[in-house]
Chains A and B, each alone.
Chain A
């Protein structure tokens, strides 16, 4: 299945793109998708504990199962205010 990964702020700079397509095995979770990406993107693993995830307009956690066509947002630590 294919998932579109949308990157924000510091993660966008690490990945070098606003969004990328990732092909994952059926049943893959948010955590699987992120961990898979850390193997290719230098510095991303260090953000693993503090990154949050969004699908649609709702936060999701690492255990959430992804589906073909999902758009997963990678949110580094917030800096509002």
Chain B
């Protein structure tokens, strides 16, 4: 499962999507909206947008690369777009593997790759009314 969604989603959906009886480990990563920016400005929420077609291609490629690189069974990645309130999930990743080390490694790999190569943009919305695009390092 690789998707961009414009409504809140539940991690249970991703967990179900990677279910695999040949695996003994399931690792998930959840990125959600925090109340302050990196430099401490109070945030009311985030706006995400994407180049949808390319982002879906790249999300699948991240999954393919993770499977090629690590001994995992299945991987799911879902990213939210649109307007997100504090605490809402922005990105979810779920990975199953026979053993935990590969699942942890693949999950970390997937979020790092997503940040570097998937065309998604984030704008912070501040309590003082300001907005600012925030780019990954």
Contact = CB atoms under 8 A, between A and B. Distances in A.
B128 interface: no
B51 A79 contact: no
B85 to A, nearest CB: 18
Interface string A52-69: 101011110000000000
A10, A76, A79 interface centre (most CB from chain B within 10 Å): A79
B119 interface: yes
A8 B119 contact: yes
A39 B117 CA distance: 28
Nearest to B47: A9
Contact of B121 (A9, A50, A54): A9
Contact of A78 (B91, B111, B116, B123): B116
A78 B54 contact: no
A78 B135 contact: yes
A81 B50 CA distance: 12
Interface string A23-58: 000000000000000000000000000101010111
Interface string B104-137: 0000000100111111111100000000011110
Contacts of B50: 80
A2 B57 CA distance: 27
Given A9-B121, A54-B119, A75-B119, A81 B91 contact: yes
A77 interface: yes
15 contacts: A8-B49, A8-B119, A9-B121, A9-B133, A10-B121, A54-B54, A57-B57, A76-B121, A78-B135, A79-B121, A79-B122, A79-B134, A79-B135, A80-B136, A81-B115
